[in-house]
Amino acid sequence: MTATDLPRPSKSIVLVGLMGAGKSRVGRQLATQLGLDFVDADTEIEEAAGCTISEIFERYGEAAFRDGERRVMRRLLDGPVRVIATGGGAFIDPATRAHVGERGISVWLRADIETLLARVGRRNNRPLLANGDQREKLAQLIKERYPIYAEADIVVDSTDGPVRDTVEKVVAGLESFLAAGSRDAGAARRRR
Ligand code: S3P
């Protein structure tokens, strides 16, 4: 199965998961393979605010960032079908999660702590990891968030190695998900 055989999804594909899970890198390649546009919600938030995410946290606090994130996610989900890479906290917000449920196909890129740590590295562009021990903070986020990410429509393990391997797993997950959806729709039509 190649991506081009995939029926065109009628909803945006929304990549969720922790910082370092590969949402942007996988999202960009996935969009190219599917012939869809790609959009990064964090970049959209920064453009709307006219400053970086770290600056938003510093100047206005996390709650203000989350408000902006919710608004941007709503706008993106209400727009054309595309691949959307979310920030790690977006899907944790109940309103955004409900909206993703209606308007998108959610894909959780699940990664273990070693993979996440290696990927977030020493870059200082993530306010939640800027202070304190990154391993401890990520372990805490895994505990809090993984049960929520698990509500995604599709779960894919994002492991070390070429991005295209993870992209292929997402494509396979989408294929099964879309096939199950059309089987359900067919069964519902036959019941009517
Ligand atoms: C956050 C993840 C970041 C960014 C912000 C908060 C989070 O996005 O939205 O720093 O709450 O997990 P990435 O997951 O793209 O790093």
128-149: per-residue pLDDT in tens?
Answer: 999 889 999 999 999 999 999 9
- Residue type at position 48: A
Ligand 1, pocket residues at CB < 6 Å:
19, 23, 42, 53, 87-89, 126-128
CB 66 within 8 A of CB 96: no
Strand partners, 108: 16, 155
d(CA 186, CA 157): 30
CA 3 / ligand 1 centre spacing (Å): 28
CA 156 / ligand 1 centre spacing (Å): 19
CA 46 / ligand 1 centre spacing (Å): 12
pLDDT at 4: 57
CB 173 within 8 A of CB 154: yes
> Could you count the other beta carbons within 10 Å of the beta carbon of residue 154?
19
pLDDT at 183: 78
d(CA 123, CA 54): 12
| Residue stretches of the chain with pLDDT short of 50 | 1
Sheet holding 104-110: strands in order across? 38-40, 83-85, 12-16, 104-110, 154-157
Of 9, 62, 68, 63, nearest in space to 34 by CA: 9
**Which residue from 23, 24, 40, 42 has its CB within 8 A of the most atoms of ligand 1, so it is best to mutate?**
42
CA 88 / ligand 1 centre spacing (Å): 4
Of ligand 1's listed atoms, the one at least distance from the Cα of 40 is 15
pLDDT at 121: 82
d(CA 170, CA 34): 11
For residue 175 the two structure tokens come to 């294929």
Instruction: Report which protein residue has its CA nearest ligand 1's atom 1.
Output: 88
pLDDT at 122: 66
Instruction: Report which protein residue has its CA nearest ligand 1's atom 4.
Output: 87
Length of the chain measured in residues:
192
CA 125 / ligand 1 centre spacing (Å): 9
Using a 10 angstrom Cβ sphere, with 0-12 exposed, 13-18 middle and 19 or more buried, the burial of residue 12 is buried
For residue 14 the two structure tokens come to 């929304």
